Amino acid sequence: MTARQRLFVLGLDGVPLSLALRLAPQLPNLGRIASQARTVDAELPELSPVNWTSLATGRGPEEHGIFGFSRLHPDTFEVHVASAEHVTCPTIFDHLDRHELVSRVVNLPNTYPVRPLRGMMIAGFVAEDWEQAVYPPYLGAALKGYRLEADTSQGLKNPTLLLEELHTTLKWRERALDLLWPDLDWDLFVFVLTETDRLFHFLYPALEEPAHPWHAPCLELMLRWDQLLGRTLEYWDALPEPKRLMVMADHGFTTLRTEVDINAWLRQNDLLHLSAPPIHEWDASVVSPSSAAFALDPGRIYLNTKKRFSRGSLSEQAARLLLPQIKQGLESLTYQGERVMEQVFTGQQLYPGPQKDRAPDLVCLARPGFDCKAKFDRTQLFGLYGRTGTHTARGAIFYDSQGCRPRRMRDIGAEILRNFNVPGPTPEQTGPDAANGTLSLFT
């Protein structure tokens, strides 16, 4: 077994290279990675399920079918959480399985419910039932009490509880690592730490501002996180050759200025009408047939066409005329005199693939500091609702011990297959602009 070629993939959810370099003097294990790292671009929209699924398949949303956290039924207008059941193409684990290669996976988002594989898997969020979150089943007993996800429901209102929860999940991530790694009976090991994303959403400024009242407690959590990072690197250092290490985040992060609710904008522009007060933020059942468009989180806009939706009102011709008007209107949107959107893409631009008919018609890419939302129970276009940090499409940390330079997350998945000489998607290689942080897809 010691002669097999092993690849260790370490996921650091939401960690931007800029913050990693800033914290490197205090977090030596992160510093070891950051000193040799570059950046990788996120898939759009820049959400975890979209990006981790792109890594897990080596494909983009137009092929794997995950366009956000949620999915809307075109007939009932019910909104459900997207899951691994909705992934519409094989994963890298499926490809490796067929070549009798063994994968072990801990906390990779959007792998719930887990499917049988040649290896072991503990699902990442969104995961609900422990029995459906582990494979093989005996892992459930071996990790009895494992915490799949931290409780972030109180977020900024109770930072003490948030930090306690994140300390707890870190402890369980380490236990899983110590259980699944040591026998070395694997070819690919994927280990994802999502605690940074949870912390950054609610307390990102605390890490950037030494005078922030929660700076010390947040740094304490990051020190514990860095210790676990060090443990993974110790395991990596002890691996026999041949071996390879890849480290990446699925998106970057920055301080949040304001949330921008796209459904509120559509309502203000007489494009979205509600037939009744929504029961909750995801209650799309109240979308009236007279609506021309509606949005799903984070900023996915769907034209309400007769062809696509049971309560659609637009003809195909009317939709073609309306689409550039919405795009231009949103790209002209300002907040305190500053432009909100970097660009609004059409679905045809982003998703030219087999799942394009399920893709949104428009996708908003906000400028750093602005966070697009699409709630059905909000009327205010701008506002803050308990979060202080938001995703960015640029700047995610990436390191590869063999020097690969992927352009975006799907290319990392493709490169994993290439590493094992397993047929799959062809990874896109980039030139000097990638190292400089230029998002070539958006220019």
Q: Is the predicted pLDDT of residue 34 greater than 90, yes or no?
A: yes
Buried b (16+ CB within 10 A) or exposed e, 112-123: bbbbebbbbbbb
Helix (H) or strand (E) holding 402: none
Q: Do 196 and 272 belong to one domain?
A: no
| pLDDT value of residue 431 | 33
Buried b (16+ CB within 10 A) or exposed e, 394-416: bbbbbbbeeebbbbbbbbbbbbb
Q: Do 268 and 377 belong to one domain?
A: yes
Q: Do 129 and 234 belong to one domain?
A: yes
User: Residue 101's domain spans which residues?
Assistant: 6-256+389-442
Q: Is the predicted pLDDT of residue 331 greater than 70, yes or no?
A: yes
| pLDDT value of residue 439 | 35
Q: Do 248 and 296 belong to one domain?
A: no
How far apart CA 314 and CA 417 sit, in angstroms, is: 43
Q: Do 26 and 155 belong to one domain?
A: yes
Mean pLDDT of the chain: 94
CATH of the domain at 278: 3.30.1360
Q: Do 232 and 291 belong to one domain?
A: no
| 159 preceded by a cis bond (ω within 30 of 0) | no
Token readout for 125 is 């969020």
Residue 1 belongs to some domain of the structure: no
Residues 6+ positions from 120 with CB-CB distance below 8 Å: 103, 104, 105, 135, 136, 139, 180
DSSP type of residue 32: H
- Encode pLDDT of 164-218 as tens digits: 999 999 999 999 999 999 999 999 999 999 999 999 999 999 999 999 999 999 9
Reported as a pLDDT band with limits 50, 70 and 90, residue 426 is: low
Q: Do 306 and 396 belong to one domain?
A: no
Token readout for 371 is 């966070």
Q: Do 87 and 23 belong to one domain?
A: yes
Residues 6+ positions from 210 with CB-CB distance below 8 Å: none
Q: Do 292 and 429 belong to one domain?
A: no
Reported as a pLDDT band with limits 50, 70 and 90, residue 154 is: confident
- Encode pLDDT of 260-313 as tens digits: 999 999 999 999 999 999 999 999 999 999 999 999 999 999 999 999 999 999
| pLDDT value of residue 192 | 98
Residue 78 belongs to some domain of the structure: yes
Residue 63 belongs to some domain of the structure: yes
Q: 362 pairs with which residues across the strands?
A: 301, 346
- Encode pLDDT of 225-274 as tens digits: 999 999 999 999 999 999 999 999 999 999 999 999 999 999 999 999 99
How far apart CA 238 and CA 2 sit, in angstroms, is: 11
Reported as a pLDDT band with limits 50, 70 and 90, residue 429 is: very low
Q: Is the predicted pLDDT of residue 435 greater than 70, yes or no?
A: no
CATH of the domain at 399: 3.40.720.10
Cβ atoms within 10 A of the Cβ of 286, count? 16
| pLDDT value of residue 438 | 33
Token readout for 374 is 């699409």
Cβ atoms within 10 A of the Cβ of 167, count? 15
Q: Give the per-residue SS3 of 136-185.
A: CCHHHHHCCCCCCCCCCCCHHHCHHHHHHHHHHHHHHHHHHHHHHCCCCC
Beta strands in 13-54 (DSSP E): 38-40
Q: Is the predicted pLDDT of residue 437 greater than 90, yes or no?
A: no
Q: Which of 383, 405, 432 is the last residue of a domain?
A: 383
How far apart CA 63 and CA 357 sit, in angstroms, is: 11
* Nearest residue to 71 via CA among 278, 282, 251, 280: 282
Q: Do 326 and 403 belong to one domain?
A: no
Reported as a pLDDT band with limits 50, 70 and 90, residue 386 is: very high
Q: Do 17 and 99 belong to one domain?
A: yes
Q: Do 52 and 149 belong to one domain?
A: yes
How far apart CA 21 and CA 35 sit, in angstroms, is: 7
Number of domains in the chain: 2
* Nearest residue to 18 via CA among 225, 208, 193: 208
Reported as a pLDDT band with limits 50, 70 and 90, residue 7 is: very high
Residue 56 belongs to some domain of the structure: yes
Residues 6+ positions from 377 with CB-CB distance below 8 Å: 277, 278, 279, 280, 281, 283
pTM, 2 dp: 0.94
